[in-house]
A = this chain, B = another copy of it.
Amino acid sequence: MTAQPVLIVGSIGIDDVETPFGKAERVLGGSAVYASAAASLLAPVRLVGVAGEDLPKDAFGFLERRGVDLQGLQVVKGGKTFRWSGKYHFDLNARDTLLTELNTLGTFEPRLPASYRDTRFVFLGNLQPRVQEQVLHGLSGRPTLTVMDTMNLWIETARQDLGRVLEGVDVLVINDSEARMLTGTHNLVRAASAIRLLGPANVVIKKGEHGALLFTAQGTFSAPALPLEDVFDPTGAGDAFAGGFIGSLAREGKTDMEAMRRAVIAGSAAASFCVEQFSVQGLRDRTPRDLEQRIQRFRDLARWS
**Which residues from chain A sit less than 8 Å from chain B, CB to CB?**
90-91, 186-190, 207, 209-211, 213, 219-225, 227-231, 258, 261-262, 264-265, 300-305
Check if B213 sits within 8 Å of A210, measured CB to CB: no
Check if B301 sits within 8 Å of A302, measured CB to CB: no
Identical chains bound together, number: 2
Chain A interface, >50% SS class: mixed
Chain B residues lying within 8 Å of A227, measured Cβ to Cβ, are 188-189, 213, 220, 222
Check if A189 sits within 8 Å of B228, measured CB to CB: yes
Cα distance A221–B91 when bound, in Å? 22
Chain B residues lying within 8 Å of A209, measured Cβ to Cβ, are 188
Chain B, residue nearest A213 (CB) = B227
Check if A187 sits within 8 Å of B230, measured CB to CB: yes
Check if A222 sits within 8 Å of B190, measured CB to CB: no
Cα distance A222–B302 when bound, in Å? 5
Sorted from nearest, which 3 A-B pairs have the closest CB atoms? Answer: A222-B224, A261-B304, A210-B210
Chain B residues lying within 8 Å of A301, measured Cβ to Cβ, are 220-222
Cα distance A302–B268 when bound, in Å? 14
